[in-house]
Amino acid sequence: MRVGFIGLGVQGLPLALNLLTAGHELFGFDVSAEPLTALRQAGGNTVDAAGELGGLCEVIFICVAKDQQVLDVVTGDQGVISQARPGLVLVNHSTVSADTTASLIAATTAAGLRFADAPVSGGARGAQEKTMSFMVGADDDVMMVCEPLFRASGSAILRTGGPGTATVGKLAHQVTIIGNILAMAEGMRLGVAAGLEPQIVKQIITGGLARSFIAETWGEIKMAPHALPIYAKDLENSLELAREVGVDLAGARLMRQELQNIVP
């Protein structure tokens, strides 16, 4: 297929390269020159504006950091919609608010496009090792088109329902994972302050009911500089959704307060 990819960052670039390796004709866009060069060197094509992809591709993936970036590359003056042909499938891998996803659904539907929110979990390592997990909110026809493309980067593909539902699932996931980080940070802090070696505390936690991926990889996976603002954004979006649906997330409010202290 002719596939477009917007956002060639630490996670987006390996996801795009996986599609290229799977045999698809790939066109990429990013605001930075370095990943565009890397994509061309791997045999992919690049464009100068996101809108160009709308006239070239059958499916376009978006993997950027912020809500406004997603809106800009879709609905902006040089966004995908500006040149898109009816029937194009637009897939958003970015973790955004429920309101942003609703805006994307409305804009793409009005333009005659098809949309899926498909946030991912696994990070750069998962993308490189092709072990990503996909949460997908999509109609039947879109799911049929996209599932083989998702399998280029991982086999854990969970359809959550129609468009918009995967965004809700990803926000629930982010609240849970950040809470897991908080628990691990405080458990480690207590054990080490009381005289245990960090490795001993880690072995105790991973050997008991508290074991988790976060615990097992504690100290091995280093958080990139961009992790804190991304987690902060995810918590804000989760708390906003909680207010809209009338749920009190006291733990998430604490995570927001303690975020600077809990990310290793």
The residue written with tokens 């599609």 in the block is 19
In the chain, ranges of CATH 1.10.1040.10 domains: 169-262
Catalytic-labelled residue, pool 170, 202, 222, 233: 170
Would you state the pLDDT for residue 229?
87
Would you state the pLDDT for residue 135?
98
How far apart, in whole angstroms, are the C-alpha atoms of residue 87 and residue 85? Answer: 6
In the chain, ranges of CATH 3.40.50.720 domains: 2-162
Pairing of strands 120-121, 25-29: unpaired
| Fold for the domain defined by 2-162 | Rossmann fold (3.40.50)
Active site residue 170: yes
CATH fourth-level superfamily of 169-262: N-(1-d-carboxylethyl)-l-norvaline Dehydrogenase; domain 2 (1.10.1040.10)
Cα Rg of the chain (Å, integer): 19
Segment 21-49, tens digit of pLDDT? 999 999 999 999 999 999 999 999 999 99
How far apart, in whole angstroms, are the C-alpha atoms of residue 87 and residue 58? Answer: 8
Would you state the pLDDT for residue 262?
77
Q: Quick one: tokens of 160?
A: 């959550």
pTM for the complete prediction? 0.92
Pairing of strands 120-121, 133-137: antiparallel
pLDDT in tens, the chain (264 residues): 999 999 999 999 999 999 999 999 999 999 999 999 999 999 999 999 999 999 999 999 999 999 999 999 999 999 999 999 999 999 999 999 999 999 999 999 999 999 999 999 998 889 999 999 999 999 999 999 999 999 999 999 999 999 999 999 999 999 999 999 999 999 999 999 999 999 999 999 999 999 999 999 898 765 555 678 889 999 999 999 999 999 999 999 999 999 888 765
